[in-house]
Structure 1
Amino acid sequence: MINSALKEQQEQLIRQCQEGDRQAFMELVKAYQGMVFAVLYRLLQDKEEIEDVAQEVWVKVYQSIRKLKSPAAFRSWLHRIVVNAFRDRMRQKGNQIAFSLDDDLRLEDGDSIQMEMEAPGLLPEEELLRTEWQEHLEDAIRELPPSHRAVIIMREIQGMSYEEIAYAMDISLGTVKSRIARAREKLISKLSVYLKEKEERKV
């Protein structure tokens, strides 16, 4: 019941924003700023750039919120604005997509590739292997086509649902699933070669 009441409260806040209530808009920013920064942090590594893009997002929200037909859809709508702002920034930078390796990369439901090996008490050789692993993982993601790179970051690093990605990228659900499947196959293939070479070096 509490969740239902909170949801109604947030929807009422959005309706107030649509009516031009500036105080309500400031409260809306406060409520969702954390989510906006969390999404951008996964995609952009520069703090100043994250803050710039976040500001662009809220300007767009302020300008467009009256066009939002259903307050209940605000979260997905906001996510789309964030992703579009990110894509615009990447186009300005020549389509270079950055990403943050703070979580595991899930290759299949229930499985994952560890983004970062455990750090505490590593020996020099282990530290070298950790750095080498991260470099190969980053290279493998960078080598993906931009369209595949974007969806794999949104799905496996941001944890967005297929539906959210489809909405954010303005593509069909089938296209999302297809791109993610192909991206996973390419990552597995590239990383399997590295892991095999590493095992051979041990022999």
Structure 2
Amino acid sequence: MLLESRSPTADETVQLVRAAQQGDSDSFTLMFQIHYAGMLAVANWILGPGPDAEDACQDAAITALRRIGELRDPTAVRSWLHAIVRNICLSILRSRRPVPVGVAGVDLPASANGDPVASIERMAQRDWIWHGLRQLTPTTQTVAMLRYFSDNNSYEQIALLCGIPVGTVASRLSEARRRLAYILPSVQGERHDGIDALTAERRDEAGTILTAIANGVALSQVDRRWAKGMTMWWPSGRISTGLGSLFAVMQNNYDQGVTARLTGLVAGPGVTIWENVFLNPPDDPYHCPPGATWLLREKGGVVQEVRLLYAPPTGEPPTHRERPGPHPA
């Protein structure tokens, strides 16, 4: 169906959407191209012109590609796409806001049931999404997981977590979007290996480690999957080795009244991402930041490297503390 430069009729819109829902990638691409200008106008109005608005439209395309089957009224595709863009833009604005100390989840990219980014996170268990991610290169897969499934998902935060320049993050995300737009329509109807069991296993592990000191769990009970020479990269720039170094820090903080609670986890082949909130004692509310994101890199099922990024603190911390966070003074 050739639409040239004119707007599609209602019948043509229905045909285009139906074809896209049947997995026709060309029809989906054409649908996106027809509505891109309007989507960008929405993003520009909310975020202002610039890279964030353009990224929001690209993220919306991936979301729409995954959710196209949920669109019951093909003639409502324009308002449906605009709603996806609007919700993604609002989630970006939400992530820019300060996070009250000790409160988990306030700056999550999305929290409402209808928000597409929240829907992506809930759909992390969907086998076909993970099948698509697995076909990305390991480095591209990691930035895509952080962008779409984690709290600290700005380009700058992803760069810090991965130890790469911001420009590299941008180029890898661009590649991820391009590849996923091609891969996802072709794998949606296939049968894939499930990711549920892996996610549940990693969630149990993360929860156990984060609460190990409080619950009296010994290091030897949880270190089976951790390399003895595991490298731990702390936000302060400090580098330590082995899970024992992390336990020592957690013990130090527990002795000072700090506990941690797992709030989110996403797992894939070779990569696991944790998110947690720190609960600080009332007399020292700035001992640790509000929360943290952990990037675990694995080889052969064994954790080889961990990078930690804190959620930004709010308010004015005591001047005697050089830097907040779960590390020895």
Shorter chain as denominator, the TM-score bin is 0.3 to 0.5
Q: Greater helix share, 1 or 2?
A: 1
With the length of structure 2 as denominator, give the TM-score of the two structures.
Answer: 0.27
Q: Structure with the greater relative contact order (CA < 8 A, sep ≥ 6): 1 or 2?
A: 1
| Larger Rg belongs to | 2
